[in-house]
Amino acid sequence: MNRITRRSFLKTSAAASALAVNFVPSRVFGANDRVRIGVAGINGRGRSHMGAYLGMKNVEIACLIDPDSRLFNSRGKTVADRQGGQRPKCVQDIREALEDKNLDAVSVATTNHWHSLIGIWACQAGKDAYIEKPISHNVHEGRKLVEAAEKYNRIVQHGTQQRSSGGRANEIAAVHSGKYGKLVVSKGYCCKPRWSIGMKKAGAPPKELDFNLWLGPAPEQVYHGNLVHYNWHWFWDTGNGDTGNQGVHEMDVARWAIKGATMPKSVWSIGGRFGYKDQGETPNTQMAVYEYDDAILLFETRGLVGRHGIPRVVRNEYYTTEGKITGGKFYPKNGGKAESLGNHGGKVQPGGPFGNFIDCVRSRKRDHLNADVVEGHYSSALCHLGNISYRTGKEEAFDLKSRKFHANAQITEGVEALNDNLKGIGLELNDVKYQVGKSLEFDPITERFTDEGANALLSRPARKPFAVPDKV
């Protein structure tokens, strides 16, 4: 048996993949066997991962992984205090953690641009993986992660927690039942206040931060303080804007509601970064329209909320031929009394997202995952497709009447909401130019656009040795 070493990882992707074939699948677990897990990314969301596992019986956090070592002492102590003094190993390099043959799984709460590569490396190393949303930074690497999970028969859970909600599953079952009419528009909102991040000068990274490791698959660039540790969300090299941050949760639910939906046949997006000038690149105002055979998925991202009475809205709505479903109720078109949905049989596996993951690590039943890697790939990819339309567009004055969706009431309301958002912060609409994205046709089977310029954004150039392999 050949064990993948860090030296192995530093070789070409093909060589690493070849070595990975020699890995024996994970051990067979008994019901009471201890699962040893490494948490990668221990800032922000990583604390939630740690807290979840520390509350579970027979689960040990054996390792903490982060390119920034400044939190090793405090996080290590937190873990040790909760697991009987047993302190986790702390390493900066994920490859060092994956060398441990006794490590069963990794839980990934790193920056978006690392998610898929860590997942692929984990699969190749015979480890299971819980991966935060979005499961990928671009469409290509998400597909490669799916292939790796299937090839190595790994348990890979996506961090879209609403897939583990019985209430949400019941709502989706109600939409699918047809009792309330045929679904026409599945709508998601991601409207949270996002303030200016200002400008930070380039300079030397903190001595505790291995910035080359932090960049990993991202293009080489200079360090500045707006990257580490949260505002990386608003840069294309490392994040996916709020559509791929908070929005992927509601995007996932919106797609879930369209029975059997995978990828759309077209996408169109509009938006901009309004209200302030700062270092960020991604839009704080965005609407994306995804066309399926039987329904439209409509998604709105608005970050200029909390001002002038503009509400914070994070939810889903489902428009049918007979009315609207939202918040556990059906609202008929005729203005009749709203009715509670009742029980429609929507079921999830117990344990919440993390408990469900650990249960599946033990049982080896991929079909018991509430948010399997395949579902994670499709929902994350929707975020990427909307952003690609936006990025391939151009700034111009916008007139909805010139678009093929101009007669759709929900899309019209969405554009009006974006305009109201801008008026609410004092902008004159006559002076506003939106980034109007291209209307792009997409093949759900090949996962390619008909537009080659757009296809260029489905992946990105590799930065060795952190390249997502073409062949896993």
Residue 6's pLDDT band (cuts 50, 70, 90): low
**Tokens read off for 96:** 């060092």
Q: 444 pLDDT exceeds 90?
A: yes
Fold of 165-347+372-455: Dihydrodipicolinate Reductase; domain 2 (3.30.360)
Is the predicted pLDDT of residue 442 greater than 50, yes or no? Answer: yes
pTM of this structure: 0.94
Dump strand ranges (E) for 78-148: 89-91, 105-108, 128-131
Say whether pLDDT at 339 is over 60: yes
Return d(Cα 389, Cα 406) in angstroms, integer. 18
Determine the CATH number of domain 6-162.
Answer: 3.40.50.720
**Per-residue pLDDT reduced to its tens digit, 33-44:** 899 999 999 998
pLDDT of residue 5: 47
**pLDDT, average across residues 255-278:** 97
Both tokens of 249, joined, read: 């949760």
- Residue that is written with structure tokens 């028969």 in the block: 153
Is a pLDDT exceeding 70 seen at residue 9?
Answer: no
- Stronger pLDDT, 3 or 416, i.e. the higher one: 416
Confidence of residue 26 (pLDDT cuts 50, 70, 90): low
Share of the chain above pLDDT 70, in %: 93
Compute the average pLDDT of residues 159-183: 97
Question: Tens digits of per-residue pLDDT, 77-111?
Answer: 999 999 999 999 999 999 999 999 999 999 999 99
Domain ranges of the chain: 6-162, 165-347+372-455
| Nearest Cα residue to 385 out of 267, 470, 262, 466 | 267
Q: pLDDT-derived band of residue 11, with 50, 70 and 90 as boundaries?
A: very low
Q: What is the pLDDT of residue 27?
A: 66
pLDDT (tens digit, 9 = 90+) per residue, 378-425?
A: 999 999 999 999 999 999 988 888 888 888 999 999 999 899 889 888
Region of 308 (left: φ > 0; alpha: ψ -120 to 50; beta: rest) is: left
In the predicted structure, residue 273 carries a pLDDT above the cut 70? yes
Residues with Cβ within 8 Å of 409's Cβ and at least 6 positions away in sequence, in order, are none
Give the separation between CA 30 and CA 10, rounded to whole angstroms.
Answer: 35
Give residue 32's pLDDT band: very low, low, confident or very high (50, 70, 90).
low
Q: Cβ contacts of residue 397 below 8 Å, gap of 6+?
A: 432, 433, 434
Lowest mean pLDDT among 5-19, 119-133, 319-333: 5-19
Confidence check: pLDDT of 340 > 90: yes
List alpha helices for 211-335, DSSP H.
211-215, 247-257
Give buried/exposed letters for 431-464 (b at 16+ CB in 10 A, else e): ebebbbbbbbebeeeebebebeebbebbbbeeee
Summarize the confidence of residues 450-464 as an average pLDDT: 96
Residue 334: its pLDDT value, please?
Answer: 84
